[in-house]
Amino acid sequence: MVLAADAVDLARAQTAFSLAFHICFAVFGVGLPWMLIYTQWRWLRTGDPVWLALTKKWSRAFAVLFAVGAVSGTVLSFEFGLLWPAFMSKYGGALGLSFTMEGFAFFAEAIFVGMYLYGWKRLSARAHWLTLWPIAISGTVSTLFIITVNAWMNTPRGIVERGGKVVEEKPLAPFTSPSFLPQISHMLLAALMCAGGTVAAIYAVGMLRGRRDAYHQRGLSIGLAVVLVCAPLQLIAGDWAGRNAGDHQPLKLAAMEGLYHTGSNAPFTLGGIYDDKTGNVRYGVEIPGMLSLLEGFSTRHVITGLDSAPPDERPDGTLVHGAFTVMIVAGSALIGLSLLTGLVVVRRRRRGETPLLPTGRPWLIAAAGTGPAAVLAMLTGWEVTEGGRQPWIVGGHMRVVDAVTGGDGAEPIFAGTLVLYLSLAGALVLILRKMATGGPSGEQLRPGLPSGPSIPGAPRPRDGGDGRGTDPTKPRPEQGGDSDGEDGRSGSKESAPAAAYDPAADPAARHTARADQGGHRPSGAQPVLVPDRRPGEPAPATDPTTTRGAAGTSTPASTPAPASTPAPASTPAPAVPSAGEPAPAGERSASPAIPRPRSEPHSAGTSGGGRPGVSLRRGGPGRYGLFGRRHAGKHALPGRRPDSGAHTAGRNDPGETR
């Protein structure tokens, strides 16, 4: 059965590859919506264009990631049948409920993603924000359903087989697997960490290149907050998962640890290469008795080793131990960074220093590493779970070799999958990279303007200083007329979907970037992404314009300023100049002057009193706010800004363009 073994390897490789590909997108489907809920909520509350810019940028990235995740997920649902027909024939019934519910969760997600991505102008601001909730919830819930399947494959429950035939399958079997709870908590935290870490990494790189504006600062803060808050929790969840493996899949634990000999006083081994032949780990760091201590709280606790099973029933210790080590190292680094950052934040807060998050170069480099570290840990963690399950496809019930298809088309299909996925991934990286560079809508910092980075503590000189040349896609702001630079760039950076919400662009023009550029070029001159909060500025413009006009009337009435703002906001160029100025005065007090992004009638009522309270409450640790919002207020530079009102006003559409 040499050929069969090959087929098994190919099928496994194909499944592993497709799953890894899909997971990398799925984690963003879980994590990003929650983060979007936060940023867009902040925008609704404050009208601050920076929040809108973050929201729009992320929603664009989310659109792409979600679509690729959706189609790659479809491939998986087919692959179960194409590659593992025997598995699906036998156990499809037991897994059906989980998959069905996952299907509906995905359904709900897809529906609301459509509404969210294309509904900026069709929905009221609040309704638009509300569509994020079903997206986030169903994204999370679909992870949960899928994990039930995997947990069941690891530790099946609720089926009765007689003579190789399934005679009874409890419909809820997957939900009763003992691995389910630890696995789902471990995975959800991992998903959040991957999404948060990647976001943090992107903004950290941006800041390392000198873009230390409020936009980058906040993007970094949110991402870091997510990844660093989750990291310590992940320690607990991971420990739970490990214990669970020890209880229900002792061989998996043994493989993770590279432990061959069953016995008490089992060592905890980190690193090294497990040698299949000798049963030893070479070059590893061994802590004697630690594993017994961890698992049973006593060095006398007996840990099952790989020697307890015949060789053909052992997982591959080399692979699983290696993956486990990588996961532990990456995870520990994140946890360490989390604790360190926590300490520094507390200290800075006590001293009253302003951005609570340290943004020195080493910190930024560390932050830039969180994304890759989280993704690496997530992928290797999956390798541990799946590799540790071997040789079973359904633990103790069916072997992987018995589940596979015997077809000889496996090789070309696998090769095709590799080529297809890798080229799609390559293209995607290019696209995301382009999205990630530059400011909210692709425009750059303009150090020349009074409104440089307003985050105190950011080393301003750097603004123009670096990033030079490294990135062809970002023209230097300083050179030439701003408008030139901006124009070219805004054209190149903005992308289509933007146009989808862009009032300036013909609705029909949505899909092409060209059209989009056309729409935006005029507004190119409005560049600066600056300041934290420009309350007077109605950037929010986009959606609710029409309705907001109405709602807005009540607001402007109270203060002189932006009576006209809501409308102009949507059509970038003209009207706006009048807007903006007076308002900056500290949005908190002047809140009524802020054109509320919300359009509902009732919002007008709550806006005045409600907002400040909420924003304070949510501001992070104390009033300083992890995300620096307090300072944003403080540093809004009301005095300096007036003349830049025009810029400001025009600028809001970068927001629109996302």
Partner 1 sequence: MTAADLLLIVMVIGLTAYALLGGADFGGGVWDLLARGPDARDQRKLISNAIGPVWEANHVWLVFIVVALFSGFPPAYGLVGSSLEIPLSAALVGIVLRGAAYVYRAYGAGAAGPDHWWGHVFAVSSTITPFALGVAGASLATGRMSPDDPMEPLRSSFGLGCGLFAVAATAFLAAVYLCRDAAASPATEHLVPEFRRRATGGAVVCGALAMMLLPLFWDQAPVVAHRFLDRSMPLVGLSVIGGAATLVALARRQFVVARLAAGLAVGAMLWGWAVAQYPDLIVGQVTADSAAAPTTNIHAMLYAVAGGLAIVLPPIIVLYRLFTRPEPTT
User: Under rule CB under 8 A, which residues in 126-145 are in contact with partner 1?
Assistant: 134
Can you tell me the distance from the alpha carbon of 256 to that of 239, in angstroms, rounded to the nearest whole number? 13
Subset of residues 552 to 571 that bind partner 1, contact rule: CB under 8 A: 570
Can you tell me the distance from the alpha carbon of 148 to that of 97, in angstroms, rounded to the nearest whole number? 10
With CB under 8 A as the contact rule, the residue among 497, 535, 597, 628 that binds partner 1 is 497
- For 426, residues 6+ apart whose C-beta sits below 8 A from its C-beta are none
For partner 1, the closer of residues 166 and 333 by Cβ is 166
HEC profile of 483-547? HHHHHHHHHHHCCHHHHHHCCCCCHHHCCCHHHHHHHHHHHHHCCCCCCCCCCCCCHHHHCCHHH
Closest approach, Cβ 648 to partner 1, in A, equals: 22
Q: With CB under 8 A as the rule, give the number of residues binding partner 1.
A: 96
Subset of residues 163 to 182 that bind partner 1, contact rule: CB under 8 A: 166, 168-172
* DSSP 8-state code for residue 274: E
| Contact assessment for residue 435 and residue 494, using Cβ atoms and an 8 Å cutoff | no
Can you tell me the distance from the alpha carbon of 217 to that of 204, in angstroms, rounded to the nearest whole number? 8
Binding mask 508-527 for partner 1 (x = CB under 8 A): xxxxxxxxx-----------
Closest approach, Cβ 118 to partner 1, in A, equals: 4
Only segment of 183-191, 426-434, 463-471, 631-639 that touches partner 1 (CB under 8 A): 426-434
For partner 1, the closer of residues 406 and 605 by Cβ is 406
For partner 1, the closer of residues 291 and 649 by Cβ is 649
Subset of residues 47 to 76 that bind partner 1, contact rule: CB under 8 A: 60, 63-64, 66-68, 70-75
Binding mask 91-130 for partner 1 (x = CB under 8 A): xxxxxxx-xxxxxx-xxx-xxxxxx-xxx-xxx-------
With CB under 8 A as the contact rule, the residue among 214, 496, 551, 636 that binds partner 1 is 496
Binding mask 14-53 for partner 1 (x = CB under 8 A): ----------------------------------------
- By CB under 8 A, tell whether 81 contacts partner 1: yes
With CB under 8 A as the contact rule, the residue among 288, 336, 360, 416 that binds partner 1 is 416
Closest approach, Cβ 591 to partner 1, in A, equals: 26
Can you tell me the distance from the alpha carbon of 126 to that of 652, in angstroms, rounded to the nearest whole number? 19
- Extract the tokens encoding 104: 């509906």
Closest approach, Cβ 1 to partner 1, in A, equals: 17
Closest CA to 295 of 304, 305, 287, 303: 303
For partner 1, the closer of residues 281 and 403 by Cβ is 403
- Beta-carbon neighbour count of residue 173 at 10 Å? 21
Closest approach, Cβ 93 to partner 1, in A, equals: 3
- By CB under 8 A, tell whether 435 contacts partner 1: yes
- For 199, residues 6+ apart whose C-beta sits below 8 A from its C-beta are 32, 35, 58, 219, 222, 223, 226, 371
For partner 1, the closer of residues 24 and 335 by Cβ is 24
With CB under 8 A as the contact rule, the residue among 80, 313, 399, 577 that binds partner 1 is 80
- By CB under 8 A, tell whether 409 contacts partner 1: yes
Closest approach, Cβ 508 to partner 1, in A, equals: 5
Residue with tokens 């509320």: 596
Closest approach, Cβ 183 to partner 1, in A, equals: 21
Can you tell me the distance from the alpha carbon of 132 to that of 115, in angstroms, rounded to the nearest whole number? 9
Q: Please list the residues that pair with 269 across neighbouring strands.
A: 286
| Contact assessment for residue 573 and residue 650, using Cβ atoms and an 8 Å cutoff | yes
For partner 1, the closer of residues 158 and 271 by Cβ is 158
With CB under 8 A as the contact rule, the residue among 288, 336, 360, 406 that binds partner 1 is 406
Output the DSSP codes for 27-43. Answer: HHHHHHHHHHHHHHHHH
Residue with tokens 């790989």: 306
